[in-house]
Amino acid sequence: MKKILKWFAMLVLLLVVLVVVFFLSLDSILRITVENRIRAQTGMDAEIGKFHLGLLEPVITIKDFKIHNPPDFGGTPFLSIPEIHVEYDREALRHSQIHVTLLRFNLGELDIVKNEAGQTNLLSLGLAVPAKSKTVGAQGLAEFKQRTGLDFTGIDVLNVSIGSAKYIDLKNPNNDRQQKIGIDNLVVKNIRTPADLTGLAVMIGLRSRDFFTSILGLEAFLK
């Protein structure tokens, strides 16, 4: 009987240790999972310096997030994001709704790369600007709900910082250029549809001058 109790006590102790180790390693496990998922879905290597999922508080924080272009674009940098910080409504999530109370997004650098075949990474990855339409925002939200089963109900506070953008021409480096955007802690409130981001898009356009329009040929869309 004593041996059984001893073995049972050791088993319980081992289980407690495993649970503690799991929770202490949870952020690292999630970080690796996210990196692998991005690589599997996009073919791009991803690096995350720190990933934190709050267990007692509804918070997700990602720091030093970097994505590199696939081999067709020389494995060059694509995105450098010093911080993504999300605080969300846990009660809304229980009802299959995504309600973000605070989103802090710091984009350090975006690199647009043109490979030797003349393709641009944004267009090649399906990130081209869609055709201009009054319903494009509604369609996007409907597609999001169809894929995830979740309703997006909005972002209460969005805090955006954007550093710079770079253009890299692998065939002709003489075309390389860099544009400082310099948006620092711009606050946008009560975002319910993509149309509520129009002011932010205008600000980015003014700060970047003709950088994006000249490179991606979006003049017709922006008129």
More confident residue, 215 or 184: 184
Distance CA 85, CA 66 (A): 15
Q: Answer yes or no: is pLDDT of 15 > 70.
A: no
pLDDT on residue 10: 52
Confidence of residue 41 (pLDDT cuts 50, 70, 90): confident
Predicted pLDDT of residue 138: 62
Alpha-carbon distance of 70 to 154, in angstroms, equals 33
Distance CA 53, CA 67 (A): 20
Tell me the per-residue pLDDT of 78-100, one tens digit each, with 9 for 90 and over.
999 999 999 999 898 888 888 99
pLDDT at 125 over 90: no
Query: The tokens of 24 are what?
Result: 């202490």
The more confident residue out of 65 and 27 is 65
CA 88 centroid distance within chain: 16
What is the rounded average pLDDT of the residues 5-21?
A: 47
Instruction: Give the HSE-up count for residue 124: Cα atoms under 13 Å, Cβ half-sphere.
Output: 18
Nearest to 155 by CA among 69, 84, 68: 84
pLDDT in tens, 145-204: 777 777 888 899 999 999 999 999 998 899 898 999 999 999 999 998 888 888 888 888
Q: Whole-angstrom Cα distance, residue 102 to residue 92?
A: 14
Q: Tokens standing for 131?
A: 């055709």
Strand order in the sheet with 46-53: 46-53, 59-68, 77-88, 97-114, 151-169, 177-191
DSSP for residue 176: -
Mean pLDDT calculated for residue range 39-44:
84
27, with CB counted inside 10 A (0-12, 13-18, 19+), is middle
Tell whether the model's pLDDT for residue 31 goes beyond 80. Answer: yes
Give me the pLDDT at residue 140, please: 66
Gyration radius (Cα) of the chain, Å? 22
